[in-house]
Structure 1
Amino acid sequence: MKGKKILHIVSVSFSLRYFVGNQFHYFKEKGNEFYVACSDSSDFIALSREFGFTPFPVPILRSINPLQDIKSIYRLYQYIRREQFDIVIAHSPKGGLIGILAAYLARTPKRIFFRHGLVFETVTGLKKHLLINIERLIGFCATSIVNVSPSITRVSDRLKLNASSKNKLLGKGTCNGIDITKFKPRSGYKDSTVITIGFVGRLSKDKGLIELIDAWKLLCNKYKSIRLMLIGPLDERDPLPDAVLDQIYRDPTIDYIGGVDDTSLYYNKMDIFVLPSFREGFPTVTLEASASGLPVVTTKVTGCIDSIIENETGLFADNNSHSLNEKIRFYIDNQDIAQLHGRNGCQFVKDHFSEDLIYKQIEEKIL
């Protein structure tokens, strides 16, 4: 593969580790040059050193701000014209709107949008129509759309977000694959005196934290030797009610870890993983949990529905506390099945979602 000059565009630098990560190292060794446009932060500069890309700070606000957005599109347009990139890859709705529009105006030959999720699925009214039409504008201006899950492709086709001929899927889904040398079963980390149910992700309403905490109250009425481990930052854009936060902070059976840079060893402290989300693109955390040998309880929403094999690697729950309680109880009461589903999940990730497999797909379908 001839070396190419590639620009990634994201709204927050935090997402780079998950959206691109080791791709930087893998494809740099094949002679490619990487640049990243993103809102400025100390973390952005640190990541540029870690992954070896050239940073271009530009404001990409997650909220809609017409004046600032137009300024950012123009700055990016000038940068893209000056640097003459072979490929521009934009992530998330806002990064996509600003990045793909700038690349379209600059006539970049390959303009690729990664559709990581569908924000409009959990909103209503005029805002929903606006978000759908933003997706359609991005879809028109992009040359290719990478939907990160089969279920996102189905919604995209149903709503005509872009020409179906532009759709691409990497294997069975995901955007970056799983590092199976990092996320793997390890012994010696679990506390054998308790059963630990784990969650990794933003603590928000969209992630189903209200329903999970309600289910936890039911579980604690039946079991004494259990704990809930919550890993991830509080989400200021979709905040939890004060009563739920108070329960998380005060309940001695809940271990709130907060945000961490490396979650791999935390999975090894869990017995069951749960993601009760209302909206996803393709939840990397369920694959990380499966790769770590955990049975998974998740919901049948977009993205999540593609991340497990029902009754083989995990169980589907409805988006309510009683269903979550029932599915988690099943694994607590049937440890042999829980362990079997964990082993199956580990193999499922190795067979379909390892970084090597996904990076070959990226090389064939995108670069």
Structure 2
Amino acid sequence: MVTAAVTARLFMRGYVEFLAESGYEVTLVADDVSEIGEALAGLGVATVALPMRRDPSLVHDVRSLTRMIALIRRIRPDGVIYATPKASLLTSIAARLLHVPVRIYELWGIRFETATGAARIVFRGIERVIASSSTAIVANSASLAERAVSLGITTSDRVEVPASGSSHGVDAEYFSPDAPHAGLDADTARFFEENPGRTIGYVGRLHPDKGVGVLLDAAERVYSEGTAVRVVLVGGNEGATSLGRQNLPVHRTGEAADVRPYLAAFDVLVLMSLREGFPNVVLEAAAMRVPAIVSDSTGCVDSVAPGETGVVVPAGDADQLAHVMTELLAESELLHIMGDRARERAIRDFEPRRVWGALAAHLDRQLIDVTPTQDQG
């Protein structure tokens, strides 16, 4: 179970196919499965659309919970796996009420890490409800598992990090410098023609938690000190402000269905996020031979091998980020070496079937003593 259709399509489709190939009878649930339902049906995976809203809404959430209870009662699963906050909350409660023996929470981030006031209290409470209703927790990075324990969400004996982390790894054939893909859009190509220099890139939601402002402040300092740089921001705006700078060349592409043309144009990816689970974009950039500079926040710190595939700097520290940018962008050979090592690591540690296999092995262990249930509900 996941909340959004895009999550089902991008993050879970391969995993449910893998489980079906491994002999499981699988049902994938999301708010909309129309894009992938027919394809998955041909592989023996059932799909169910169950309306859910990402943000809290008492009336809609109660309605969704009622539907979830009815669905689980009908399917009678031996195990449920859930990720993303809303789907996890609804599923964990419904599955616990119906005594589903295996309830696995795939923890992909801790939303309340950066929340304040009443929102922090609410989101913290939601995480504790999900964790207490689950029989096992899978975190997609080591730092995330440690953070969940330190924040009192769970205990160390109940959380695991299969393989090297990540929710689904990275397809290094698709994300490859040698794979065919469309070129840059006309506006971005024009921006490059008018603003020569090294390219600092960002891909993701333009949200205050993502540290885009720190990136721009640091890049502006690098630019003002004489290094020709330009910044490309790929993603939709979700509340980030002051995305322009007076002198620094900054280009926003908006959302992109295929980010590979932009990754291929980057000299370095920068992600100064305040919180993550495990940032997939860093793996995607790595597979494209693009090194990354990341913050030392939860999740980000796991996404590079420091000094080999990228650099870790303190979250929020624009001065240190500017220093690292200046040094790294001045060393073309070092950029290439880091890029090569980043791709090697992506292929070695984050091949999708390796990640799915580790998740499936964890599931197998949870189910080992479970027999098909006949009396749920």
TM-score bracket for the superposition, by shorter chain length: 0.7 to 0.9
Matches within 5 A, 1:340-359: 340-359=337-356
1:51 Cα shift?
4.2
1:255 aligns with 2:251: yes
1:93 Cα shift?
1.9
**Which residue of the partner structure matches residue 212 of structure 1?**
215
Check the 8 A contact 2:40/2:47 in 1, yes or no: no
**Which residue of the partner structure matches residue 279 of structure 1?**
275
1:15 aligns with 2:18: no
Identity %: 27
Farther off after superposition, 260-269 or 284-293: 260-269
SS of 2:74 mapped into structure 1 = helix
1:225 Cα shift?
4.3
Check the 8 A contact 1:60/1:95 in 2, yes or no: yes
1:353 Cα shift?
1.2
Q: Alpha-carbon deviations, 1:254-305, whole Å to 9, x = none?
A: 3322222232343222111111111101111111111211111010000011
Greater relative CO (CA pairs within 8 A, separation 6+) = 2
Distance 1:301 1:252, change over 3 A: closer
**Which residue of the partner structure matches residue 206 of structure 2?**
203
SS of 1:366 mapped into structure 2 = helix
Matches within 5 A, 1:1-367: 9-40=1-32, 44-52=33-41, 53-186=45-178, 194-223=197-226, 225-235=228-238, 239-241=239-241, 243-244=242-243, 247=244, 253-318=249-314, 319-367=316-364
Partner Cα distance (1:49, 1:213) in 2: 43
Check the 8 A contact 1:230/1:257 in 2, yes or no: yes
**Which residue of the partner structure matches residue 5 of structure 1?**
none
Number of equivalent positions: 349
1:315 Cα shift?
0.9
Farther off after superposition, 205-214 or 186-195: 186-195
AA aligned opposite 1:128: R
Farther off after superposition, 255-264 or 98-107: 255-264
Partner Cα distance (1:89, 1:251) in 2: 49
Check the 8 A contact 2:140/2:167 in 1, yes or no: yes
SS of 1:135 mapped into structure 2 = helix
Partner Cα distance (2:164, 2:21) in 1: 26
Partner Cα distance (1:231, 1:308) in 2: 20
Check the 8 A contact 1:139/1:163 in 2, yes or no: no
1:162 Cα shift?
2.4
Q: Alpha-carbon deviations, 1:20-63, whole Å to 9, x = none?
A: 132233333334343233224xxx31132344454323232222
Farther off after superposition, 157-166 or 104-113: 157-166
1:212 Cα shift?
1.7
Check the 8 A contact 2:107/2:137 in 1, yes or no: yes
Partner Cα distance (1:212, 1:144) in 2: 37
Partner Cα distance (1:118, 1:344) in 2: 29
Partner Cα distance (2:329, 2:101) in 1: 53
SS of 1:62 mapped into structure 2 = coil
Partner Cα distance (2:358, 2:179) in 1: 33
SS of 2:240 mapped into structure 1 = coil
Q: Alpha-carbon deviations, 1:64-118, whole Å to 9, x = none?
A: 2223212211110111101122322111222211111111112222211111101
Q: How does the TM-score come out when normalised to structure 2?
A: 0.85
SS of 2:35 mapped into structure 1 = helix
Partner Cα distance (1:262, 1:203) in 2: 17
SS of 2:283 mapped into structure 1 = helix
Distance 1:251 1:313, change over 3 A: same
Check the 8 A contact 1:18/1:176 in 2, yes or no: no
Partner Cα distance (2:174, 2:347) in 1: 12
Check the 8 A contact 1:199/1:273 in 2, yes or no: yes
Q: CA RMSD of the aligned region, Å?
A: 2.5
Check the 8 A contact 2:234/2:254 in 1, yes or no: yes
**Which residue of the partner structure matches residue 6 of structure 1?**
none
Distance 1:223 1:23, change over 3 A: farther
Q: Alpha-carbon deviations, 1:184-203, whole Å to 9, x = none?
A: 23399798964222111101
Farther off after superposition, 85-94 or 204-213: 85-94
Distance 1:108 1:337, change over 3 A: same
1:150 Cα shift?
0.5
Farther off after superposition, 107-116 or 73-82: 107-116
